A and B are shown apart, each in its own frame.
Chain A
Amino acid sequence: GAGVSQSPSNKVTEKGKDVELRCDPISGHTALYWYRQSLGQGLEFLIYFQGNSAPDKSGLPSDRFSAERTGGSVSTLTIQRTQQEDSAVYLCASSFTQSSYEQYFGPGTRLTVT
């Protein structure tokens, strides 16, 4: 079956612009996670969804970052007023349930802020 998909695969944007990154989890997976992979910080957790609710947003680095999930499926990560330090690969993962400890990762969106 289809894995986790993310779009776009690459995004180049100018400093100060807003961007939206999309994640389509594996069908039937109720838990969804966003992570960020950058040279300076490694792999960092951003936010976790169970269904459409986000019980853990502790990793969002600033109020410029937000995320939502609709229909218990697709999720969008929005970065407002992008800064150069936002340049990174944004990874999405999903798991079957909250207590399923195997997370399946998407290929990521490479964001470059110029």
Chain B
Amino acid sequence: AQSVTQLDSQVPVFEEAPVELRCNYSSSVSVYLFWYVQYPNQGLQLLLKYLSGSTLVESINGFEAEFNKSQTSFHLRKPSVHISDTAEYFCAVSVRGYNKLIFGAGTRLAVHP
């Protein structure tokens, strides 16, 4: 069975500071990895995904995540956050060949001025 652990339930940070949201997964088979974002009172949106190839993936709004197979991690980073990045971030995996997503518990990122 697969599982996802997001080590921080809440991350407070000041505007323009760097941030890292941690995600570790457990799986005996190959997985695809995802980060989803849920802004206040909105639905889940895909932020970025790792399917294969380069282990560093980037989003259009400055986030990046790196797949580390040896550490079974897929941490999300941004060098300088904005107030508008305040949201809940979910790490998820799916097993190759099966589409259901298995989510972590989520990390609430609160960006303060």
Tell me the minimal C-beta distance from A14 to chain B in angstroms.
26
Selected interface stretch from B60-68, B77-85, B102-110: B102-110
Q: Determine if A103 is an interface residue (Cβ-Cβ < 8 Å).
A: yes
In the complex, chain B residues whose CB is within 8 Å of the CB of A103 = 46, 99, 101
Q: Are A105 and B100 in contact (CB under 8 A)?
A: no
Cβ contact within 8 Å between A45 and B100? yes
Interface residues of B in 40-57 (CB under 8 A from A): 42-46, 49, 51
Number of A-B contacts (CB under 8 A): 51
Q: How far is the CB of A57 from chain B (nearest CB, A)?
A: 11
Give a binary string over B22-38; 1 marks a CB under 8 Å from any A CB, 0 the rest. 00000000001010100
Supposing A43-B90, A43-B106, A101-B51 touch, asked if A107 and B101 sit within 8 A by C-beta, the answer is no
Given known contacts A91-B44, A107-B43, A108-B43, is B90 in contact with A98 (CB within 8 Å)? no
A-B contact pairs, 19 of them (CB 8 A): A33-B99, A35-B101, A42-B104, A42-B105, A43-B103, A44-B103, A48-B100, A56-B98, A56-B100, A93-B44, A95-B99, A101-B34, A101-B49, A101-B51, A101-B99, A103-B101, A107-B42, A107-B43, A108-B43
Residues in B lying within 8 Å of A, measured CB to CB: 32, 34, 36, 42-46, 49, 51, 90, 92, 94, 98-106
Q: A103-B46, A105-B44 are in contact. List 13 more A-B contacts (CB 8 A).
A: A35-B101, A42-B105, A42-B106, A43-B92, A43-B106, A45-B100, A45-B102, A56-B98, A59-B100, A93-B44, A101-B32, A104-B46, A106-B43
Shortest Cβ-Cβ A-B pairs, 4 listed: A43-B103, A105-B44, A45-B100, A107-B43
